[in-house]
C-alpha cells in the first residue's frame, strides 16, 4: 500500500526510546496523552495490548518499548496515520520493539464481523489502551483539513462505540485504560457501564489548584468491583511550563505510572 | 407531637456555634460529612436552603449558623430524629439562628402531592444540601436497631429518588450540594442526569496518598455546563488522626469551603 503523506516530522518520545513519524500539520499530533496512557501499563505486563484508534502509534509504541513481554496491535482507520506508523516501525530507533508490533487497518465503527476479518477478533487482547477523539460532532471550530477534523471528532455514538469495541476485543478480566477529557467523566463512567468494573479514576490536573483537564481510567472487563477516585496526577508546578519531576520521569524516562505516581500502583490490579 | 427519645447526647459543632441533640446510640450519628456539606454554602448565600434527609439537623443548622441570609428547612421522616432536631433548636446555644429554621416531617419517597402538603412544594428552594444514606439495600451488615438501619440504608430507587426530589424542590438555577461515598461516583453522576449541570466534583481523601472515600458534588438545576473535577480535599496528614489545618478551619471555625479550599471558590458559581 502506498499512501502519499505530505510533509512529516520525526518526534522523539521517552527520551528517544521511541521515534514517531507524524504529518507536519493537518493531522492530530500525538503527545502528552499518548505517553501518559502508555505509562498505565506496568513494565512487567505480559500479553497482547491493543492500541485502539492508535493514530500514528505513539501510545502503542511506548507500551512496546517499555514492556518487553507485550505484543502490541495498532488499530487505526486513517490511511495517512497508518503510513506514518509503518514508517516509524521501520526506523532503526524503534528496532528494539518493532518486531513485537503489528498494524490492523480497521474502523471501530465497522460491524464486528468485518473488524474480525481485519484482525481484530473477540477476546484477543489482555489490555486495550485508547485515547478517543476529544471533540464530539458539532463541537469546536471546524478544522480546515478533513484529516485533522476526523482525528479530533467523535462520530456517531461517540464514546459508547469505543467502549463496546474495547469490551469485545478484551478477554474476560482484561484491562482497559482510557484517557479523555475530564469534563466528560459522566459519559465515560456511563460507557464503562456493566461491561467493566474495578475502575481506577485518575484525575490529571495541569496545576495543583486547577480543575482536572484530563482523566485517565483503568478498568477490568467483567469485574463487579466498585470504582475508586485516586489521588490526582499534577503536571506542572504552580507557575511555568516545566513538568513536575514525577511527570518528567514518565515522559522522558519511560517510567510507569505505578512507579512515578504511587497511588496508581496501590490501587490497580496487576 | 411527643416522641420518646431514649438517651441523647449534646454534641458541639463549629467550635460550639451549633449544638446538636443526638440519640446516644441506635441512630446514625452526624459528623464530618454533615459539616463538610454545610461548608459548601458560602457565608453570603441568601435564600431558602433545604436540608433533605436532615437527620438530627447538623448540616442544616451549620448552614443557618454560618449564613445569616438563609432560611433553612430540615426535611426528615424519622420521628425520633425530628424530636432531636426540635430539642436542638430550643437550646440557647442555637438561638442566633433557630428562628430562621423550620422542620418538615416528610418522607422523600412520598408522592409529590403529599410532600407539597407537608410543606415541601415545587421550586421553593434556592439550594438543597443532602447526605443520603450510605448503604444500599442488602448491603453491609444488618443493624440491630431498626432506626439505625433506616438512617444508613437507601431504600427503593436509591439515589435516583433523592435527586428527583432535590430537582423538584429547587427553583431553576438553584444549587444542589450532595456528599456521598466516592465509590458510587458513577451512580451520582447518572442521577444528576439531565436535571443538573455545571457539576463541581470534589473528591475527599482521608490522606493524600489514599483513594477518595467521599465525594462532594455541587451542581446547578437546569444548567447544561459540563462538569469539573476539582483538586481534592485531603482530611488528615500522612499519619495520625488530626485534621489538616484547612479542614480544622472548616470543622471547628465554621469557615466555608470556598475560603478553606480555594479550588472550590474558583469553580463554583455563587
Rounded to two decimals, the ipTM of the complex is 0.87
User: What is the tens place of the pLDDT at every residue in A167-183?
Assistant: 999 999 999 999 999 99
Please tell me the total number of residues recorded for chain A in this structure. 270
pLDDT at A267: 42
pLDDT at B267: 42
Residues of chain B neighbouring A227 (CB-CB closer than 8 A): 183, 185-186
Of B227, B231, B232, the CB nearest to A186: B227
Which has more pLDDT, A146 or B261?
B261
Query: For residue A265, what pLDDT band results from cuts at 50, 70 and 90?
Result: low
In SS3 terms, chain B reads as: CCCCCCCEEEEEEHHHCEEEEEECCCCCCCCHHHHHHHHCCCCCCCEEEEEECCCCCHHHHHHHHHCCCEEEEEEECCHHHHHHHHHHHCCHHHHHHHCCEEEEECCCCCCHHHHHHHCCCCCCEEEEEECCCCEECCCCCCCCCHHHHHHHEECCCCHHHHHHHHHHHEEEEEEEEEEEEHHHHHHHHHHHCCCEEEEEEEEEECCCCCCCCEEEEEEEECCCCCCEECCCEECCCCCCCCCCHHHHHHHHHCCCHHHHCHHHHHHCCC
Distances (CA, A) of A50 to A59, A75, A194, A243, B65: 10, 7, 21, 28, 56
CATH superfamily of B8-267: Vaccinia Virus protein VP39 (3.40.50.150)
Give the whole-angstrom CA distance, residue B263 versus residue B232.
9
* Closest-CA residue to A146 (of A3, A56, A27, A53): A27
pLDDT at A142: 45
pLDDT at A262: 86
Q: In the predicted model, what is the mean pLDDT of residues A190-208?
A: 96
Q: B169 with B141: CB under 8 angstroms?
A: no
CB contact under 8 A, A227 and B203: no
Distance from the Cα of A199 to chain B's closest Cα (Å) equals 9
C-alpha cell at position B214: 467521599
Q: Residue A3: is its pLDDT beyond 70?
A: no
Give the whole-angstrom CA distance, residue A62 versus residue A31.
11
Distance from the Cα of A41 to chain B's closest Cα (Å) equals 19
Task: Tell me the CA end-to-end span of chain B in Å, nearest whole number.
Answer: 38
Least confident of A36-40, A109-113, B198-202: A109-113
CB-based contact, B4 to chain A, within 8 Å? no
Q: In the predicted model, what is the mean pLDDT of residues A14-22?
A: 96
Of A186, A190, A229, the CB nearest to B182: A229
pLDDT at B2: 54
CB-based contact, A108 to chain B, within 8 Å? no
pLDDT at B26: 57
User: What is the tens place of the pLDDT at every residue in A184-197?
Assistant: 999 999 999 999 99
Q: Residue A224: is its pLDDT beyond 80?
A: yes
Residues of chain A neighbouring B215 (CB-CB closer than 8 A): 229
Q: Residue A250: is its pLDDT beyond 90?
A: yes
Provide the whole-model pTM.
Answer: 0.90
pLDDT at A263: 87
Q: Residue A266: is its pLDDT beyond 50?
A: no
How many helices and strands, by DSSP H and E, does chain A display?
11, 13
pLDDT at B5: 61
C-alpha cell at position A41: 501499563
Q: Mean pLDDT per segment of 10 residues, for chain B of length 270 residues?
A: 72 96 75 96 97 97 98 97 97 98 95 91 97 70 49 65 96 97 95 95 97 97 96 96 96 95 63
Residues of chain B neighbouring A263 (CB-CB closer than 8 A): 209-211
Distances (CA, A) of B233 to A227, A269, B103, B120: 18, 25, 31, 32
Distance from the Cα of B160 to chain A's closest Cα (Å) equals 15
**Triad A121, A126, A129: Cα angle to 5°:** 90
Of A226, A232, A266, the CB nearest to B183: A226
CB contact under 8 A, B189 and A190: yes
pLDDT at A27: 52
CB-based contact, A26 to chain B, within 8 Å? no
Give the whole-angstrom CA distance, residue A150 versus residue B19.
60
Q: In the predicted model, what is the mean pLDDT of residues A67-75?
A: 98
Task: Give kind and range of the element (H or E) at residue B86.
Answer: helix B79-89
Residues 6+ apart with CB under 8 A from B194: none
Amino acid at each position: 500500500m502506498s499512501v502519499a503523506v505530505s510533509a512529516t516530522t520525526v518526534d522523539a518520545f521517552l527520551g528517544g526510546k521511541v521515534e514517531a513519524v507524524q504529518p507536519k500539520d493537518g493531522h492530530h499530533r500525538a503527545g502528552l496523552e499518548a505517553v501518559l496512557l502508555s505509562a498505565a501499563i506496568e513494565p512487567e505486563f505480559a500479553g497482547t495490548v491493543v492500541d485502539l484508534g492508535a493514530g500514528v502509534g505513539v501510545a502503542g509504541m511506548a507500551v512496546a518499548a517499555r514492556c518487553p513481554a507485550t505484543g502490541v496491535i495498532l488499530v487505526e482507520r486513517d490511511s495517512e496515520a497508518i503510513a506514518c506508523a509503518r514508517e516509524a516501525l521501520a526506523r532503526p530507533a524503534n528496532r528494539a520493539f518493532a518486531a513485537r508490533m503489528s498494524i490492523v487497518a480497521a474502523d471501530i465503527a465497522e460491524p464486528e464481523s468485518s473488524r474480525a476479518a481485519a484482525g481484530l477478533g473477540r477476546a484477543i487482547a489482555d489490555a486495550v489502551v485508547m485515547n478517543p477523539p476529544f471533540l464530539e460532532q458539532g463541537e469546536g471550530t471546524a478544522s480546515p483539513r478533513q484529516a485533522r477534523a476526523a482525528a479530533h471528532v467523535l462520530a456517531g455514538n461517540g464514546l459508547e462505540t469505543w467502549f463496546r469495541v474495547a469490551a469485545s476485543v478484551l478477554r474476560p478480566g482484561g484491562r482497559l485504560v482510557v484517557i479523555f477529557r475530564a469534563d466528560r467523566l459522566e459519559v465515560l463512567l456511563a460507557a464503562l457501564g456493566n461491561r467493566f468494573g474495578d475502575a481506577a479514576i485518575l484525575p490529571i490536573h495541569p496545576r495543583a489548584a486547577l480543575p482536572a483537564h484530563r482523566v485517565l481510567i483503568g478498568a477490568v472487563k467483567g469485574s463487579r468491583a466498585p470504582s475508586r477516585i485516586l489521588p490526582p496526577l499534577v503536571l506542572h508546578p504552580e507557575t511555568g511550563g516545566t513538568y513536575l519531576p514525577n511527570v518528567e520521569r514518565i515522559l522522558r524516562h519511560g517510567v510507569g505510572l505505578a512507579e512515578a505516581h504511587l497511588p496508581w500502583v496501590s490501587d490497580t490490579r496487576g
